[in-house]
Chains A and B, each alone.
Chain A
Amino acid sequence: MILNRQSVELLAPVGSQEVLVAAVEAGADAVYLGGKRFNMRLHRSDANFDDAGLAKAIAYAHAHNVRLYITVNNLISESELPLLKEYLQLLNELQPDALIVQDLSVLALAKEIGLTVPLHASVMMNTHNEHAVRTLQEQGITRVVTNREMSLAQLALLKERTGIEIEYFIHGDMCIAHSGQCLHSGIIFGQSSNRGRCLKTCRWPYELVDAKTGTVLGKEDPGPYKLALKDMCMYRHLPELIQSGVCSFKIEGRMRTADFVKRIVSVYRRAVDRYLADPTGYYYDPADWKDLFENRNRDFSTCYAISAPGAEAIGYNGQREPRFFSQAVREPGLPTTLHTLPSTSTNKNRANLAVRVSDLASLTAACQNGANVVYIGGDSFKPHTPWSLKEIAAAIETASQHNAQVVVMTPRITMERECSELEPFLTQLTTLRPAGVMVSNLGALRLAKQFTDLPIYTDYSFNVFNSATIGLLSSLSVAQSTLSLEATQEQIFALAKNSTLPLELIVHGPLETMVMDHCVPSAVLGLSATAGNDAILNTTSFALLDTAGQKHPLVIDQYGRNHILLAKDLCLFPLLSNFTALSSLRLECQHYTVDTVAAVTALYRQELDGIAAPAATTAEDSAQRLEQLRAVSPSELGIGVMRYRTSR
């Protein structure tokens, strides 16, 4: 590969005009910044650019031969769609060099208004496989900011197979959870990470405990900040980075000062230039490294770029944490009075009752107690084992005996290995004929379209927050979409009114708020990848205990990924009549015992039947059922984001 100055783009973060000048002077090839709207990093009102400021910034950057990308990277609510359209029209007039986007609605609106500015997929799109990239390319995306869980080797392959431009975070503050997939702040505080308002619950102190006994695990606890990822720093691995085919080296930190940005850009600028001029004679500059290291915010890690970093990537003692945004809070329970809205439904009981289960016995229990649809497969949590094709066939057979349908799920995160496994799996499914296949990311969606003719459902991981996104999914042959878990009643009603697809809402069960490649128990307990460790990971029920005294179950899937659950199980039972106009209401029962699955399904069935035939049921019946639900639930119950009027 012949390298020149155009081979690598050094991309700097900018939050103000002053920082822009500093970044350009320090040698950035490109900068990214946000407007005052539809932009992440909204904690501060004094940062980001107003419309006049955007025009000025573009003029300044272009006068200095620097490319400028504007972040339009929030999830968009239904009520914001008209404003977004106006904003995109303005940006089309301003002509920056690209827009960095998260919400699929932007892709749809871009087509509608004939936007000529190139589009880059934000890291919040959680792009981690070639099939997702291909889908995005077809939708007009020219560059992806890939998932930070991807290694350089995977990036090289992705680049080779798709030809897409790859932007990769090389320096700064990182999330521990897969980007765009963390719902903790959004559900608890009503302030969504996907809308630029993350309150960084991953920076809280936690104890790793046995969920059943409450015993603290790990004799030599490395410290309370078990999810506090260190800052990314690729300075000492620049040659590997350049040779991986990453075209844009992205520095994190749009709220940083001019001084900070200037230092980081200058150091990387010097290194990139030296490497391009003399690759074989290159060695990193120890003085520059010392400067970076001594002025670091947190300690450094290479995160997933080289290999899975394990415990080394975590700053357990919290001493280098510059700022905490929140303290742990007790999750909301079921309120005595609920803020309800009048249902728009005239067609009661249209909604299917769907139940997600983890094994055949639970599937039978769900079917026997009134489930219309059962979800199986996808992520399978220890101690359960993944569904075999034989078990899936048996599940379809059992469900059909109860007039129920089976929809087979695919894993939430599908890296290269999982994608390769999906191809034969989906082909087999076509023969087994379940009622549908539910996918969790754009790559799996593409594979499902390619290898089956089954109806395709999308899961909540698509973060469906507006009808334009649904329109785009509809154009990709999706048959039903699950709503975002961060949408409140008002937002759901507004969205459902304009939806072109049947919609599903999750109404009960433990909710996952973070999914991460980092294995917390392995790191905390110092487990190495030996056979003996499987026993501990397979047989212990882990939980993270926070300072509010709540236990968040931590479950491990068949790929070793960790999923963190809310301490309280979602229960929208008291609000159920508001949602019957939706096509499907889902119970997440995959972590429940067979008896609990049976009881929970039966109670929701009775309630839905009661709503459909109000003459035959009373408010006391409902209250009684809610009490029974509390009694059988293994955790306390709560209403999640529904405590808020709107999610911000």
Chain B
Amino acid sequence: MLHRIGILQLTQYLDEAVQGFKTGLSEKNIAAEFLYYNADGNEQELPALARKLKEAAVEMIFACSTPAALAAIQHAPQTPVIFTPVFDPVGTGLVNSLTQPGGWATGAAGRVAAAEKINFIRRLLPDARSIGCLYHLHDANAVLEVAGFRALELPFSWQEIPFENPAALSLLPDLLPENIDALFLPIGRAAEDNFASIVYYTDSVNLPVIASHPPNVAAGALAALTANHFRLGITCAEKAAAILGGTPIGSISISQAENPDIILNRFSATNLGIELPADLIKQAKEIID
């Protein structure tokens, strides 16, 4: 039987999740035709695209990103929605709880646990005593991730550096404390999109940056620990199979990102005079030269 599945994607950056989803379905011998819409970064386009999927009577929607999932829930009501890599499925109102979503959506969360990130920072920079955390004060994901760090006992001193709006990054030297050994960037679009300006300043004071968004590593961050989008896509395909098999979507629990990827930047390390630990190099999914 040929199933009809909609894909709603926010940016091309999420391609790997789509590939994982398709691969996962084909591994389960589920034949499907896909109606694929990509908003190419324009969030405002998502509602119209979700409505098109509804009109096309797809059996379910694979929604990549929180805005895509929210648009699908709102504008394609009563269509099962499988989402990833949503950072905070409960907080954004997509589901009631991680174990019992309850409504028309389930999926795989893309959040790497704070404890894992702390461990990663420790391994990457064992001598770092003080870490700065630069985050956008009005970005829900960033705020949530920072709260996650705050709730734990940290092996280094922790200095939060909130910023009001992207333009504030123009004056980052005024915001940066003098005594930090590295700068951590939680998930959050304002910092990710304007990363070039951040690394411009951190480079000039020889400050390593640990990012959460893979393209930021290629653009000059020292390293990142990130969810593997392809595997998240595979996990979502398993949930799709269950739904097609008749399991009510509201009872399918939300999965968490496991075994996150390590991405390292050797060019930045050399510039900063930092030796990358051999065990991290061995484990890295990608090393930028």
Closest to B39 in A: A257
Asked if A547 and B170 sit within 8 Å, CB to CB, the answer is yes
Q: Does A387 contact B (CB under 8 A)?
A: no
State how many angstroms separate the Cβ of A203 from the closest Cβ of chain B: 11
Q: Does B102 contact A (CB under 8 A)?
A: no
Contacts of A329 in B (CB 8 A): 170, 197, 200-201
Q: Does B13 contact A (CB under 8 A)?
A: yes
Q: Does A645 contact B (CB under 8 A)?
A: yes
Name A251-292 residues within 8 Å CB distance of B: 255-260
Closest to B43 in A: A322
The CA of A16 and the CA of B205, in the complex, are separated in Å by 39
Q: Does A44 contact B (CB under 8 A)?
A: yes
Contacts of A549 in B (CB 8 A): 170-171
Asked if A327 and B169 sit within 8 Å, CB to CB, the answer is yes
Name B189-247 residues within 8 Å CB distance of A: 193-194, 196-197, 200-201, 204, 215, 218
The CA of A45 and the CA of B38, in the complex, are separated in Å by 18
The CA of A546 and the CA of B171, in the complex, are separated in Å by 11
Q: Does A394 contact B (CB under 8 A)?
A: no
Do A191 and B196 contact each other (CB < 8 Å), given the known contacts A46-B15, A327-B170?
Answer: yes
Closest 6 CB pairs of A and B: A548-B170, A547-B170, A326-B196, A257-B38, A327-B197, A327-B169
Closest to A294 in B: B48
Question: Interface digits, B7-51 against A, CB 8 Å rule (1 contact, 0 not)?
Answer: 000001101100000000000000000001110111001000000
Asked if B12 and A322 sit within 8 Å, CB to CB, the answer is no
Question: Interface digits, A302-342 against B, CB 8 Å rule (1 contact, 0 not)?
Answer: 00000000000000000000111111111010000000000
Q: Does A189 contact B (CB under 8 A)?
A: yes
Asked if B12 and A47 sit within 8 Å, CB to CB, the answer is yes
The CA of A326 and the CA of B197, in the complex, are separated in Å by 5
Q: Does A374 contact B (CB under 8 A)?
A: no
Contact of B173 among A205, A295, A330 (CB under 8 A): A330
Q: How many residues of A contact B (CB 8 A)?
A: 34
Contacts of B42 in A (CB 8 A): 297, 322
Q: Does B167 contact A (CB under 8 A)?
A: yes
The CA of A258 and the CA of B35, in the complex, are separated in Å by 12
Contacts of A258 in B (CB 8 A): 36, 38
Asked if B196 and A325 sit within 8 Å, CB to CB, the answer is yes
Q: Does B78 contact A (CB under 8 A)?
A: no
Looking at chain B's contact residues, the main secondary structure is: helix
Closest to B167 in A: A547
The CA of A205 and the CA of B170, in the complex, are separated in Å by 11
Do A324 and B193 contact each other (CB < 8 Å), given the known contacts A46-B13, A46-B15, A548-B171?
Answer: yes
Closest to B218 in A: A45
Contact of A643 among B173, B193, B197, B204 (CB under 8 A): B204
Do A199 and B196 contact each other (CB < 8 Å), given the known contacts A46-B13, A548-B171, A645-B271?
Answer: yes
Question: Interface digits, A184-207 against B, CB 8 Å rule (1 contact, 0 not)?
Answer: 000011010000000100000100
State how many angstroms separate the Cβ of B85 from the closest Cβ of chain A: 15
Q: Does B177 contact A (CB under 8 A)?
A: no
Contacts of B77 in A (CB 8 A): none
Asked if A322 and B41 sit within 8 Å, CB to CB, the answer is yes
The CA of A643 and the CA of B169, in the complex, are separated in Å by 20
Asked if B197 and A46 sit within 8 Å, CB to CB, the answer is no
Q: Does B166 contact A (CB under 8 A)?
A: yes
Asked if B200 and A325 sit within 8 Å, CB to CB, the answer is no
Asked if B170 and A328 sit within 8 Å, CB to CB, the answer is yes
State how many angstroms separate the Cβ of A552 from the closest Cβ of chain B: 13
The CA of A188 and the CA of B200, in the complex, are separated in Å by 9
Asked if A45 and B215 sit within 8 Å, CB to CB, the answer is yes
Contacts of A548 in B (CB 8 A): 170-171
Asked if A327 and B204 sit within 8 Å, CB to CB, the answer is no
Asked if B12 and A327 sit within 8 Å, CB to CB, the answer is no
The CA of A258 and the CA of B34, in the complex, are separated in Å by 14
Contacts of A297 in B (CB 8 A): 42
State how many angstroms separate the Cβ of B247 from the closest Cβ of chain A: 31
Beyond the given A44-B12, A259-B37, A548-B170, could you list 19 further A-B residue pairs with CB under 8 A, ordered by the A residue number?
A46-B12, A46-B16, A47-B12, A189-B200, A199-B196, A257-B38, A258-B36, A258-B38, A322-B42, A324-B193, A324-B194, A329-B201, A330-B173, A546-B170, A547-B170, A547-B171, A549-B171, A643-B204, A645-B271
Mind listing 29 A-B residue pairs with CB under 8 Å?
A43-B215, A44-B215, A46-B13, A46-B15, A191-B196, A199-B196, A205-B167, A256-B40, A258-B36, A258-B38, A259-B36, A259-B37, A259-B38, A259-B40, A260-B40, A323-B41, A324-B166, A325-B193, A325-B194, A326-B197, A327-B169, A328-B170, A328-B197, A329-B170, A329-B201, A332-B204, A547-B171, A549-B170, A645-B271
Do A257 and B12 contact each other (CB < 8 Å), given the known contacts A323-B193, A327-B167, A645-B271?
Answer: yes
Asked if B38 and A326 sit within 8 Å, CB to CB, the answer is no
Contacts of B45 in A (CB 8 A): 295
Closest to A199 in B: B196
Name B246-289 residues within 8 Å CB distance of A: 271
Among A199, A295, A326, A549, chain B packs the most CB atoms within 10 A around the CB of A326
State how many angstroms separate the Cβ of A22 from the closest Cβ of chain B: 10
Contacts of A191 in B (CB 8 A): 196
The CA of A249 and the CA of B215, in the complex, are separated in Å by 32
The CA of A332 and the CA of B200, in the complex, are separated in Å by 10
Closest to A253 in B: B40
Asked if B194 and A327 sit within 8 Å, CB to CB, the answer is yes
Closest to B195 in A: A326
Name A534-572 residues within 8 Å CB distance of B: 546-549
Contacts of A199 in B (CB 8 A): 196
Question: Interface digits, A215-252 against B, CB 8 Å rule (1 contact, 0 not)?
Answer: 00000000000000000000000000000000000000
The CA of A191 and the CA of B197, in the complex, are separated in Å by 12
Contacts of A332 in B (CB 8 A): 204
The CA of A264 and the CA of B140, in the complex, are separated in Å by 35
Name B122-178 residues within 8 Å CB distance of A: 166-167, 169-171, 173
Among A43, A46, A327, chain B packs the most CB atoms within 10 A around the CB of A327
Question: Interface digits, A14-41 against B, CB 8 Å rule (1 contact, 0 not)?
Answer: 0000000000000000000000000000
Name A447-497 residues within 8 Å CB distance of B: none
Contacts of B167 in A (CB 8 A): 205, 327-328, 547
Contacts of B36 in A (CB 8 A): 258-259
The CA of A436 and the CA of B201, in the complex, are separated in Å by 42
The CA of A43 and the CA of B219, in the complex, are separated in Å by 8
The CA of A329 and the CA of B172, in the complex, are separated in Å by 9
Asked if A326 and B41 sit within 8 Å, CB to CB, the answer is no
The CA of A257 and the CA of B37, in the complex, are separated in Å by 9
State how many angstroms separate the Cβ of A58 from the closest Cβ of chain B: 23
State how many angstroms separate the Cβ of A268 from the closest Cβ of chain B: 19
Contacts of A43 in B (CB 8 A): 215
Closest to A257 in B: B38
The CA of A330 and the CA of B169, in the complex, are separated in Å by 11
Contacts of B169 in A (CB 8 A): 327
Contacts of A325 in B (CB 8 A): 193-194, 196
Asked if A255 and B12 sit within 8 Å, CB to CB, the answer is yes
Contacts of B173 in A (CB 8 A): 330
State how many angstroms separate the Cβ of B253 from the closest Cβ of chain A: 30
